């Protein structure tokens, strides 16, 4: 979003520059430095090619070959059951069939002919099993080292500037996929093109995080540092049936693990154990932190079995976890455990979670930045809509303020220590749904979860002063007045309902709407980040603006225009709201 915002602001400048260049018919070109240009035999060029190389290990459960991949769809027969594999998700279906019985011989037949894609993206038609095995004979060894890099990827699109021998730009090539990148780098290695990457670019790591890279040296170091940091899964199973004992133990000890799902004897116990936190220690001790802070201590150990690596948990009181569990699936940040009889545990890694909760730590987190009420359920009724645009601020003197219509309502708070855990006590006049004692059930630097009886609240940290995108949005909104240029619900355009209204986004957080008869509709607003950028707006219950009370996803913004959308749970657009600055 940051790049997009800056691009919008620079459009007029580049338009003027382009116009001037056309007038003078002169284009000044800055030759690339030696560090910027990719050379045929450089380490960086090799790294880029290896990162873009086709990874054939994802479908090894079908072809048992790391250097090729079967083009989908393909029909197979797994233990007698015919399956049409349309997507990589269907590899899980084969795995589930193979795991159904422990004492059978797993067998997979492929219905030929098929098309396979080699590591250089060449496509070959294969007519029978012998032809497939002959083609794959050089890459069938399990977990053997190969020269592709799977632990880091490019986020597309990226582009290259292509130069002639006089260092003049003759073309800009946009790359949209690994295949395009691999074939382009192949031309660089063969000396057919002389090119440099256009920065910045974004790299994606195996754990889902991203890194912005701004020059060749950063890119080379980033790939070098990341290329051996993950399990490339170059085996003949799907998702690490044979994950080694040592790697499992090291993974368990890296960070706390949050309980995401629990089944015992085919009964779901997730509601009981959700968000329990497990910490695996070096000495074979495992500590389970219950919601509210109670700690249960047990032991853990691993061993290698015919079914893979097993994790044994033993507790005196936590009987639903006391069992020897087999590793069903390991993904980055997630482990799935199972035993026969409908027993399953899913754990998610969270390195940010705080397991050693103290009164002082809770107070310190509360006093950092503002806090949004992201969720509030009172006696089963969702009340968080009443807090759109109304963040809380906790101060060191036990004073708490909540911003309503741009004005702060002042109250008090305390963090108390009770037998059940740590309690956040809030007392705010006019806010009875917050004026409760809340048990702290989950704590990490940007997230606090609270509950009591039938009530739940989630607070998310809001720090606009350190976010360049939010500072841009805030500055744009408070500069001038706005009007509704478009409001559409589904296929129905309702823009005419907002003719002649103007909207003022005040720096205090107050939102003031002036109607055609000079009346005022009051509200609050807050731009914030949550896996994207959002604009929360809360209006009085007065038509037609009351229906605009919502947390809107910001999809585009300039200094004079902001496009907002409301998405359904399935990702479809339900409403579109476009605001334009009044000239």
Q: Which CA distances in Å does 312 have to 284, 395, 418?
A: 10, 46, 33
Band of the pLDDT at 157, cuts 50, 70, 90? Answer: very high
pLDDT for 294 equals 80
Band of the pLDDT at 14, cuts 50, 70, 90? Answer: very low
pLDDT for 243 equals 65
pLDDT-wise least confident of 142-156, 206-220, 307-321, 526-540: 142-156
| Between residues 35 and 461, the one the model is more confident about | 461
CA angle 393, 399, 404 (to 5 degrees): 45
Cα Rg of the chain (Å, integer): 29
Q: DSSP assignment of 24-92, as one string?
A: HT-----PPPTTTB--TT-HHHHHHHHHHS----TTHHHH--TTEEEPSSEEEEETTEEEEE-SGGGHH
Q: Which of 462, 430, 452 is nearest to 528 (CA)?
A: 462
**Per 3-state DSSP, what percentage of the chain is helix, strand, and coil (rounded to 5)?**
20, 40, 35
Q: Is 367 helix (H, G, I), strand (E, B) or coil?
A: coil
pLDDT-wise least confident of 106-110, 184-188, 558-562: 106-110
pLDDT for 290 equals 86
Summarised one tens digit per residue, pLDDT across range 51-80 is 999 988 888 888 888 888 999 999 999 888
Average pLDDT on 427-436 reads 83
Q: For residue 573, what are the β-bridge partners?
A: 567
pLDDT greater than 80 at residue 179: yes
pLDDT for 6 equals 33
Percent of the chain with pLDDT over 70: 89
pLDDT greater than 80 at residue 344: yes
pLDDT greater than 80 at residue 307: no
Q: Which of 128, 127, 133, 111 is nearest to 67 (CA)?
A: 133
Average pLDDT on 325-331 reads 81
pLDDT for 236 equals 47
pLDDT greater than 50 at residue 21: no
Q: Which of 74, 79, 77 is nearest to 126 (CA)?
A: 74
| Between residues 2 and 347, the one the model is more confident about | 347
Average pLDDT on 525-530 reads 93
Q: Which of 533, 530, 537, 582 is nearest to 561 (CA)?
A: 582
pLDDT for 356 equals 77
Instruction: Give CA–CA dist 93/411, Å, rounded.
Output: 56
pLDDT greater than 70 at residue 581: yes
pLDDT for 13 equals 28
Instruction: Give CA–CA dist 403/511, Å, rounded.
Output: 12
To 10 degrees, what angle do helices 216-226 and 43-52 make?
Answer: 60
pLDDT for 233 equals 55
Whole-prediction pTM? 0.55
Average pLDDT on 289-304 reads 87
Q: Is beta strand 81-85 parallel, antiparallel or unpaired with respect to 323-331?
A: unpaired
Q: Which of 453, 407, 452, 404 is nearest to 426 (CA)?
A: 452
pLDDT greater than 90 at residue 23: no
Band of the pLDDT at 398, cuts 50, 70, 90? Answer: very high
Q: Which of 69, 39, 73 is nearest to 56 (CA)?
A: 69
Q: Which of 241, 256, 209, 183 is nearest to 61 (CA)?
A: 241
Q: What average pLDDT does the structure give for the chain?
A: 84
Summarised one tens digit per residue, pLDDT across range 198-210 is 999 999 988 778 8
Instruction: Give CA–CA dist 177/169, Å, rounded.
Output: 23
Summarised one tens digit per residue, pLDDT across range 257-282 is 999 999 998 899 999 999 899 999 98
N residues, the chain: 583
pLDDT for 1 equals 38
Percent of the chain with pLDDT over 90: 47
pLDDT greater than 70 at residue 515: yes
Q: Is beta strand 158-163 parallel, antiparallel or unpaired with respect to 370-378?
A: unpaired
Band of the pLDDT at 3, cuts 50, 70, 90? Answer: very low
């Amino acid at each position: 979003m940051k790049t997009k915002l800056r691009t919008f602001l620079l459009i007029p400048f580049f338009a003027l520059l382009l116009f001037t260049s056309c007038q003078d018919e002169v284009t000044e070109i800055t030759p690339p430095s030696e560090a910027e240009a990719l050379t045929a035999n450089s380490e960086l060029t090799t790294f880029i090619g290896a990162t873009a190389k086709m990874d054939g290990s994802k479908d090894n459960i079908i072809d048992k070959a790391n250097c090729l991949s079967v083009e989908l769809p393909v029909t197979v027969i797994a233990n007698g059951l015919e399956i049409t594999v349309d997507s990589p998700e269907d590899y899980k279906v084969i795995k589930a069939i193979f795991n159904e019985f422990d004492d059978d011989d797993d067998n997979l037949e492929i219905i030929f002919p098929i098309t396979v894609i080699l590591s250089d993206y060449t496509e070959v038609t294969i007519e029978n099993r012998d032809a497939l095995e002959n083609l794959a004979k050089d890459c069938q060894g399990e977990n053997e080292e190969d020269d592709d890099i799977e632990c880091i990827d490019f986020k597309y699109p990226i582009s290259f500037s292509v130069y002639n021998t006089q260092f003049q730009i003759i073309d800009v090539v946009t790359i949209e996929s690994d295949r395009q990148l691999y074939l382009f780098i192949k031309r660089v290695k063969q000396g057919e093109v002389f090119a440099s990457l256009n920065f910045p670019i974004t790299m994606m790591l195996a754990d889902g995080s991203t890194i912005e890279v701004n020059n060749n040296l950063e890119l080379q170091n980033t790939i070098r540092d990341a290329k051996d940091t993950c399990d490339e899964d170059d085996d003949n199973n799907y998702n690490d049936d044979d994950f080694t004992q040592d790697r499992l133990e090291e993974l368990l000890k890296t960070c706390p693990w949050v309980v995401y799902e629990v089944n015992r004897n085919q009964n779901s116990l997730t509601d009981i154990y959700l968000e329990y936190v497990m910490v695996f220690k070096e000495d074979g001790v495992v500590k389970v932190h219950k919601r509210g802070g109670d700690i249960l201590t047990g032991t853990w150990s691993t061993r290698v079995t015919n079914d893979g690596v097993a994790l044994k948990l033993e507790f005196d009181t936590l009987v639903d976890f006391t069992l020897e569990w087999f590793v069903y699936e390991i993904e980055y940040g997630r482990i799935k455990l199972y035993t026969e009889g409908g027993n399953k545990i899913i754990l998610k890694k969270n390195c940010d979670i705080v397991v050693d909760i103290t009164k002082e730590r809770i107070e310190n987190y509360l006093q950092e930045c503002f806090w949004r009420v992201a969720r509030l359920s009172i006696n089963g009724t969702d009340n968080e809509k009443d807090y759109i645009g109304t963040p809380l601020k906790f101060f060191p003197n036990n004073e708490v303020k909540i911003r309503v219509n741009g004005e702060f309502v002042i109250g008090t708070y305390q963090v108390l220590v009770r037998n059940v855990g740590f309690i956040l006590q809030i007392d705010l006049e006019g806010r009875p749904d917050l004026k409760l004692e809340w048990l702290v059930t989950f704590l990490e630097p940007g997230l606090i979860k609270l509950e009591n009886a039938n009530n739940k609240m989630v607070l998310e940290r809001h720090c606009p002063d350190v976010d360049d995108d939010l500072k841009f949005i805030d500055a744009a909104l408070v500069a001038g007045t706005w009007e509704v240029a478009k409001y559409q619900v589904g296929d129905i355009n309702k823009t005419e309902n907002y003719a002649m209204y103007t909207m003022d986004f005040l720096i205090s957080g107050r939102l003031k709407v002036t109607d055609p008869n000079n009346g005022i509709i009051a509200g609050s607003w807050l731009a914030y980040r949550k896996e994207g950028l959002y604009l929360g707006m809360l209006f009085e219950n007065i038509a037609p603006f009351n229906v605009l009370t919502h947390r809107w996803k910001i999809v585009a913004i300039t200094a004079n225009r902001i496009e907002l959308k409301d998405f359904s749970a399935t990702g479809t657009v339900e409403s579109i709201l476009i605001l334009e600055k009044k000239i």
